[in-house]
Structure 1
Amino acid sequence: MLSNAALKSARPKPRAYKLWDAQGLHLFVAPTGLRAWRVRIRADRREAVISLGTWPDVSLDDAREAAILARGMIVQGSTPKAVSAKLAERLAQSAISFEQLARDWHAHRRDRWTAVHAADVLTSLERHVFPAIGEDLATAITTPQLLRLLGQIARTGAAETARRIAQRLSAIYKFARARSIVDANPAEGLVAELATGAPVRRQPALQDLGEARALLDAADRARVAPAIRLASRFLALTAVRLAAVRGARWDEIEGVDWSTDAPAPAALWRIPAARMKMARAKKADAANDHLVPLSAAAVAVLRQARALGVADLVFHRGGRPIGEGAIGALYDRCGFGGRHVPHGWRATFATALNERYPDDRFAIDRTLGHAQGGPVEAAYNRSQHLPRRRWLFDRWAEILLDTPAPGDRPE
């Protein structure tokens, strides 16, 4: 039988010759330097010679697997032409690089995602995965290879990024298996391998309002893209999740006349259910849209954002959403690394308002988009408490920006 060493030492000669492996498989070496895999098959008194591609594009192992497939198809009555076409398709798939496979998967899934999430997924692969294994054959990548890559990502302090990428790697290979591009999923089980068993740690959040104001002031003065600075302030004033702000669109803003600077006491941000953190079945129902009353301070931020140039997204850079880690990096640069993260504004908001207005706990939870009670209550209690929630957002803006309305400062 042939070995890889024998294949590497095969040199052209004045006349063509064959190097035999087993069961009709051989390498045809031409004087021109061509080294082509072929398999001779006999079935029902017929003989066929099927081409299997060239070496080294087709490895010895792949040639043996292709020969087995060809033999089975001939025995079942397929014509040599049909076998050659099937093998050419299979070999082309097996030669696909991981980057091409991942991009095909991304294109297939993109319409099911929001534009922001689709951009995040592709960016994470381009930044962390393609430089390391993008050019490798998708069929040749191993589980230990992927585990080493994810470990390197996690050791940089990006453990959550590593976990998400592990999920995406597994999804890519499930996509490939369903299309017979690969026979196994080397990324299966990697998420569990990355789990440390450590208790879930609460997101860092400032509880002292003086420090929260200091962070906002430092972020306003930082040398950073204006869209990032404005997105940070809007995030603080609305206490929504970061993904909601990054995906905010102008057509989601209601009750504001952009042609004037007139007050907008009924300003409202309607976040589609599809972009909210909830069960998939609920995402399809517009009745589950999350309504965020906008304070005058939040509307002022939006007016500044429009002055930067209007695109579909409110906070964008060249029409694309601001980076997933842009606001967090801004807070690190301002000296608040490890003390406050973008998601922390929700905790700061909830703590400050619950301390001042404990009787409004229900409205505060609704303001944060938290589910209320059990499934029965959620099904029947659909009150939005919008007037009270608008009042709470107005109070929050005054508290955070230290501009309380007369007589409203807590004793």
Structure 2
Amino acid sequence: MPLTDASIRNAKPAEKPLKLTDGAGLYLEVTPAGGKHWRYRFRLAGKENLFAIGTYPQITLADARKARDEARELVKQGINPARHRQQQKAGVLKEAENTFAANAEAWFEEKNAPWSDGHRNTVRRILDADILPRIGKTPIRELSAPTLLQVMKKVHARGAVTRAILARQIMGQVFDYAILHGCAENNPTTPLKRQIARRTVEHHKHLEERDIGDFLRKLEDYSGHVTTRTALQLLMMTAVRPGEMCGAAWAEFDLDAATWTIPAARMKMRRVHIVPLARQAVALLRDLEQVTGDGAYLFPTQGTKSQTIPPATLRNAVRKLGYADKFSPHGARGTFSTLMNARGYNADWIEKQLAHDDSDTVRRSYNHTQHLGDRAKMMQDYADLLDEKRQGAQVIQLRKVAA
């Protein structure tokens, strides 16, 4: 049975790779980590071969079928589509006179498949905004360390220290790729290491209990985009990391079961994480579904459905709400942990909700339970507590009375 956009979005990872067949040799492989990759199976000279078309959702179902049809025509002519694509890439590099941009695009296309969505989007943004506009058209062999240092300094001048360092790392990887393919002789980014010092790591600011109600009321009246407001509201209710929230895909959610399954590829610890959803969170998601449910992602960037908002969008919203000095989006996790620990909830449930790694490797090897039922009750209690704070209710701690 041919695939549909809905069946692809709803396809969930399993312990082993899944193959979802579309027809005429085309299928979608869903990896245990949650990646979705288009493959075309064909026979040439009596041997079976595979042609990697690309990754969903970057390559849509319609695009994959078109690529399969083009590949089939090549096979009919006795041409291996993979080899044909390599020859085309070589031709493009030659036509583009071996510029930095040509090498960067070839590097990105070859290397990005196993990356998490968040990392892929970050690399793409830095390339498009900070690197290619300045050095993209320059022949790669003409670029020198001083020129590349100026690229880094332009980014650093905006106060984006980490981004400047990432720009150097990306440029370095492009040069390594070019050297391996005979398009460059040396890597001029090597002397640039440690030219820009990393910022001292600061703890993420979390909301004090006395500020929660005021923050949530201001957030409810937020005049910015509805997706930004919803992302922050859900962040408070789920205690996930901002990057995990911003990159959320509709295929990860089962609203009827009130669960959100984040694939390992998007998690810091590279393990699947199941997030139980309170009634209030499900209600927000059903409302959001009317706005962005026709695309792959919950929070796409405005004007496109193929990229998601960066965590910086949430930080900007917090600043507009007047809470930049008191709270960072990542601090929502600290707010949750502080409140629920203070109210005596089981520490294992809290740590599992935060997807923290257990430092005791022996204990971790035996502790496979997700505590889903207990965490679902805890997260509902937490959402109710946030509602009370938002409404300005006086929460009174009751003492236990001896029997």
TM-score, scaled to structure 1: 0.67
Q: What letter corresponds to residue 268 of structure 2 in structure 1?
A: K
Deviations 1:91-134 (A, max 9, x none): 94993222222222111123222344322221122112222222
Aligned to 1:159: 161
Distance (whole Å) between structure 1 residues aligned to residue 126 and residue 287 of structure 2: 30
Residue pair 1:305, 1:315 contacting (<8 A) in 2 also: no
Partner AA of 2:109 in structure 1: A
**1:202 equivalenced with 2:236 (yes/no):** no
Report deviation, 1:226.
1.3
3-state secondary structure, aligned to 2:346: helix
Task: Name the counterpart of 1:352.
Answer: 339
Kindly name which structure, 1 or 2, has the bigger radius of gyration based on alpha carbons.
1
SS of equivalent residue, structure 2 residue 274: strand
Write the distance in 2 (CA, Å) between the matches of 1:403 and 1:337: 20
SS at match of 2:275: strand
Query: Pairwise mapping of residues 210-221 of structure 1 onto structure 2 (< 5 A)?
Result: 210-221=210-221
- Is the aligned partner of 1:312 residue 2:303? no
Within the alignment, does 1:267 sit opposite 2:254 as a pair? no
Q: Would you say the 8 A contact 2:204–2:330 is kept in 1?
A: yes
CA contact (8 A) 1:297 1:397 kept: yes
> More relative contact order in 1 or in 2 (CA 8 Å, sep 6+)?
2
TM-score, normalised relative to structure 2: 0.69
Structure 1: segments with no counterpart, 5+ residues: 1-87, 258-265
Please report how far the alpha carbon of residue 384 of structure 1 lies from its aligned counterpart in structure 2 after TM superposition: 1.3
What one-letter code is carried by the residue in structure 1 that aligns with 2:172? S
**TM-aligned CA deviation for residue 328 of structure 1:** 1.0
Aligned ranges for residues 128-147 of structure 1 at < 5 Å?
128-147=130-149
In structure 2, the gaps of 5 or more residues are 1-89, 399-403
Label 1:190 to 1:203 Cα distance change in 2 as closer, same or farther (>3 A): farther
Letter in 2 for 1:225: H
Cα deviation, residue 276, structure 1: 0.6
Alignment of 1:4-153 (within 5 A): 92=94, 95-153=97-155
Which residue does the alignment assign to 2:358? 372
1:337 to 313, 324, 328: 324
Deviations 1:198-219 (A, max 9, x none): 642112222x234233233323
1:373 Cα deviation from its structure 2 partner: 3.0
CA distance in 1, matches of 2:127, 2:320: 25
Q: Secondary structure at the match of 1:308?
A: helix
Contact residue 105 and residue 175 of structure 1 kept, 8 A: yes
Tell me how far 1:146 sits from its aligned partner: 1.9
- Equivalent of 1:387, from 358, 367, 373? 373
Contact kept, 8 Å, 2:212 with 2:389, in 1: the verdict is: no
CA contact (8 A) 1:94 1:138 kept: no
Query: How many residues of Structure 1 are paired with residues of Structure 2 in the alignment?
Result: 303
Shift of 1:189: 5.5
Deviations 1:113-169 (A, max 9, x none): 234432222112211222222222222222222223212312312112112222222
Letter in 1 for 2:247: G
Q: After TM superposition, what 4+ stretches of structure 1 lie above 4 angstroms from structure 2?
A: 406-409
- Determine which of 273, 276, 298 is the counterpart of 2:267: 276
What's the RMSD between the two structures over aligned residues? Answer: 2.7
Aligned partner of residue 270 in structure 1, secondary structure: strand
Q: Distance in 1 between matches of 2:221 and 2:332?
A: 19
